[in-house]
Amino acid sequence: MEMNELQTLRHSASHVLAQAVKRLYPDAKLAIGPAIDTGFYYDFDTEHTFTREDLDALEKEMKKIAKENLKIERFELPRDEALELMKDEPYKVELINELPEGEVISFYKQGDFVDLCAGPHVNYTSKIKAYKLLSATGAYWRGDEKNKMLQRIYGTAFMNKTELEEHLEKLEEAKKRDHNKLGRELELFTTVDYIGQGLPVMLPKGARVIQLLQRWVEDEEQKRGWQLTKTPLMAKSDLYKISGHWDHYKDGMFVLGDEEKDKEVFALRPMTCPFQYQAFLNRGRSYRDLPMRLNETSTLFRNEASGEMHGLIRVRQFTISEGHLMCTPEQLEDEFKGCLELTNYMLETLGLKEDVSYRFSQWDPDNREKYIGTQEQWDEAQGVMKTILDDLGIEYKIGIGEAAFYGPKLDIQIKNVHGKEDTLITIQIDQMLAEKFGMEYVDKDGTKKKPYIIHRTSIGCYERTLALLIEKYAGAFPTWLAPVQIKMLPIADRHLDYVYEVKKKLEENGIIRIEVDDRSEKLGYKLREAQLEKVPYMIVVGDKDIENGTVSVRSRKEGDMGPKAVDEFIAMIKEEIETKRR
């Protein structure tokens, strides 16, 4: 990959970091240190665990290296000399040994520091002036948990100090919005060590947001012709052997029992498709039954690696708006379009549409063990999907090797506040699993045919969506989604009867997520607390309100809105909730 000027600078900064580490920790072994979208990192094998104080010391050493104005020079060596030069660096030796015969083996030297590297780099270390070491974490060598855990230091670098300071300000804002921090502070969820990693506990407010999303999704799907199913959370291994999950996904499943000892072995479901197919298979089908759209709010279980866990974004138990659609080849494009329209409506309503990108995930023909089906089947499925995506005018990038084991997919990608990209929603085309399960329909001409299957989610995983909404809105959810929509704040105890009268009237109009703060605290204190809880509306009630039949309204967005007649306030907030205004 060709590097631009900034990437080259960052790549060089990673080498300066590695040189600083070698100066302060001579026994540390070097792994790899690439430039990345947000800066750079370098992995080290060392018994030492880097702290913030260590990073500060390394920054000072990097400053010295920059001041020394060392020339960064490239040179090449034959394989045997390269191995001799790197004999004390086992990770570099491994990389050299993997290079094909005849490949150029290049190094870069700056002062007494030499690193195996393809480059390019800046000419002198003095060019690296605006940089910051951000964090240190564990990382498996080559991202494989079977390998040794290394120490990874993340940093960033820019062409000048102004750009660096702007970036660091953005990082501070990202930290404030991080759902892992904010979600706990707002009491949306928690995690407990003795329950387990990747198994969050939804607290009442977080559970309420997910319930609101779930009801909205199920109602919207019903309007669009989707039929609800409810299927088991586990099944015998026999089911997963038919679908192919046992051969292609078993490492990602929670298996209950031992195949060698137990007569029956069960596994928790990692996805719902083989269960939902049973609704299609329940009786004979004809073309008149198609398209058959089956949806389910599915709780799934995936045995994610411990290093992959992150708050609500990557978990081991999660709930998904899952659906499977059986259709004829002629219906495929319209049905795919309908699935995409549904997801776009969901994203638009939630305010996430502007943040997503699209990836056409294809198989890797050089790694066929990962997939079922023939070259011809994959060519056909991917050809059909390309035609559909191009007809719909979707701008997408291609992800080789990112397909499901049974078919290509459109992945709707989104980044969290730290820039880490994850899949939020998928729409997949599958012509393989119908054959495995013997799914057939009788066509108009009386012949039996296999349906195309579309696997899709409409809003994705609820936990991940909640995490992204926390970050998008910094915890200040739109009124229709807010776990508490209104805080009622009586100025004194004598105002409580009126407060509860107004509360009852609001509830009769369907506005039910209301809390009354009747503590004997000063009004200013109660207002500040409600603001910290990100409540959309605060209603203050005093003597004048009782006299005039009003409520004094304070909006999270607009501040003090003054006194309003109760019916006027009800009409205002009802309209905001019903239109799902953001």
Does residue 151 sit in the same domain as residue 195? no
Query: What pLDDT is stored for residue 418 in this prediction?
Result: 83
Secondary structure class of 460 (helix, strand, coil): strand
Does residue 293 sit in the same domain as residue 223? yes
Does residue 83 sit in the same domain as residue 157? yes
User: Which of 2, 271, 9, 293 shows the shortest CA–CA distance to 131?
Assistant: 9
Query: What pLDDT is stored for residue 369 in this prediction?
Result: 84
> What are the backbone angles phi and psi of residue 214, rounded to the nearest 5°?
-65, -45
Rounded distance between C-alpha atoms, residue 309 and residue 52, angstroms: 22
Q: Using the predicted structure, report yes or no on whether residue 2 has a pLDDT greater than 70.
A: no
Residues in the chain, total: 582
How many Cβ atoms sit within 10 Å of the Cβ of residue 166?
Answer: 11
To the nearest whole number, what is the mean pLDDT of the chain? 94
Longest dimension (CA), the chain: 93
Query: What pLDDT is stored for residue 1 in this prediction?
Result: 42
Does residue 266 sit in the same domain as residue 295? yes
pLDDT tens-digit profile of 150-160?
Answer: 999 999 999 99
Q: Is residue 180 in some structural domain?
A: no
Q: Is residue 91 in some structural domain?
A: yes
pLDDT tens-digit profile of 30-39?
Answer: 999 999 988 9
User: DSSP code of 252?
Assistant: G
Q: Using the predicted structure, report yes or no on whether residue 259 has a pLDDT greater than 80.
A: no
Instruction: Band the pLDDT of 188: cuts 50, 70, 90.
Output: very high
User: Which of 390, 321, 330 shows the shortest CA–CA distance to 360?
Assistant: 390
User: Which of 77, 73, 81 shows the shortest CA–CA distance to 105?
Assistant: 77
Categorise residue 401: left if φ over 0, alpha if ψ from -120 to 50, beta otherwise: left
Q: What are the structure tokens assigned to 286, written together? A: 């004809």
Does residue 118 sit in the same domain as residue 13? yes
pLDDT tens-digit profile of 76-85?
Answer: 999 999 999 9
pLDDT tens-digit profile of 525-542?
Answer: 999 999 999 999 999 999
CATH code for the domain in which residue 124 is found: 3.30.980.10
Q: Is residue 481 in some structural domain?
A: no
- pTM given for the model: 0.84
Q: What is the mean pLDDT of residues 465-491?
A: 97
* Peptide linkage before 274 cis (omega within 30 of 0): no
Q: How far is CA 490 from CA 60, 75, 486, 518, in A?
A: 56, 77, 13, 7
Domain that holds residue 561: 486-578
In three-state form (DSSP H/G/I as H, E/B as E, the rest C), the secondary structure along 187-249 is CCEECCCCCCCCCCEECHHHHHHHHHHHHHHHHHHHHCCCEECCCCCEEEHHHHHHHCHHHHC
Instruction: Band the pLDDT of 431: cuts 50, 70, 90.
Output: confident
| Residue linked to tokens 């137990």 | 262
pLDDT tens-digit profile of 316-358?
Answer: 999 999 999 999 999 999 999 999 999 999 999 999 999 999 9
